[in-house]
Amino acid sequence: MQVITKVAELRRALADVRKADKRIGFVPTMGYLHEGHLSLISASRGHCDVTVVSIFVNPTQFGPSEDLSRYPRDFARDEALCRSAGVSIVFAPSAEEIYPAQFETFIEPGELAKPLCGGFRPGHFRGVATVVCKLFSMVQPDAAYFGQKDFQQCAVIRRMTVDLDIPIEIVTVPTVREPDGLAMSSRNRYLSPEERGRSLAISRGLFAAAKKFASGEREASMLIALARKHLEKVDRLQYLELVDAETLRSAESPLRSPAVICVAAYVGSTRLIDNVVLTISRTR
């Protein structure tokens, strides 16, 4: 496994891979890797000859009052995990390598970036889209892998690749959960044991709504009310919405597939997000 910090070196290493006609898979991360990231790496390894993982805590996607400075970092642990997961290249650039002095060009996502997290984290998806576009241009992979937990991020990135004619397959990989249901996230480490217990309200609310949906309930308000009951345990519910999975606009009742219930909530001072996708099977 190569660990590369400079764009020029990355381009050289990947030129050889491309010459050998190998398929390149890319997993962008902000490090502090967990099982969710490992499932993205595994998906990439299943479909590609070479897997590149980037580790970069992207400052432009954090708001001024967000957790950029305390975002968990452990490069030695990340490196070891990547090595044992069969990653070919870890790209770990400095902030100056990605955003040199005088950097001033950003990607401005459209309507998909406005609801849900977009309403509470102004500029977040602008920062995500910009860094992902830059990383795409540096790595030029055949496919890139993102977790479904960040459903809106996946939608914004997919739209960006279509709108900007970026020839990269975007693969969304199902959310990996702890055995008790909590969605894996680097931010889970902020939770005290008591908060960790209460954070289960999020997945429990989502699962209860998904179960009701599976039993035939198609009224969005009923499903939301059910999820909301569980969510009383969180400290602050930022949003709980049932949206069309393509447009991310409020889904109309009776629901028609695909739709997704999305949550953002604070448990203590930790902001957690999660979602479940609701699909109607076309049997009979």
Residues of this chain that bind ligand PAF (CB under 6 A):
28-30, 58, 61, 128, 131-132, 150, 153
Q: Residue 108: CB partners within 8 Å, gap ≥ 6?
A: 126, 129
Question: 63: phi > 0 → left, psi -120 to 50 → alpha, else beta; which?
Answer: beta
Q: How far is the CB of 56 from ligand PAF (least distance, A)?
A: 7
Report the DSSP beta bridge partners of residue 28.
54
CB of 116 or CB of 128, closer to ligand PAF: 128
Please pick, among 37, 47, 124, 230, the residue that the annotation labels catalytic: 37
Cα–Cα nearest to 240, from 217, 267, 221, 256: 221
Q: How far is the CB of 7 from ligand PAF (least distance, A)?
A: 16
CB of 79 or CB of 150, closer to ligand PAF: 150
**Active site includes 124?**
no
- CA dihedral sign, ordered 222, 179, 121, 232: positive
Q: How far is the CB of 220 from ligand PAF (least distance, A)?
A: 27
| Distance, CA of 223 to CA of 208 (rounded, Å) | 8
| End-to-end CA separation in angstroms for the chain | 50
CB of 166 or CB of 222, closer to ligand PAF: 166
CB of 117 or CB of 255, closer to ligand PAF: 117
Q: What are phi and psi of 267, to 5 degrees?
A: -120, 115
Helix (H, G, I), strand (E, B) or coil at 100: coil
Q: How far is the CB of 246 from ligand PAF (least distance, A)?
A: 20
- Mind telling me the catalytic residues? 37
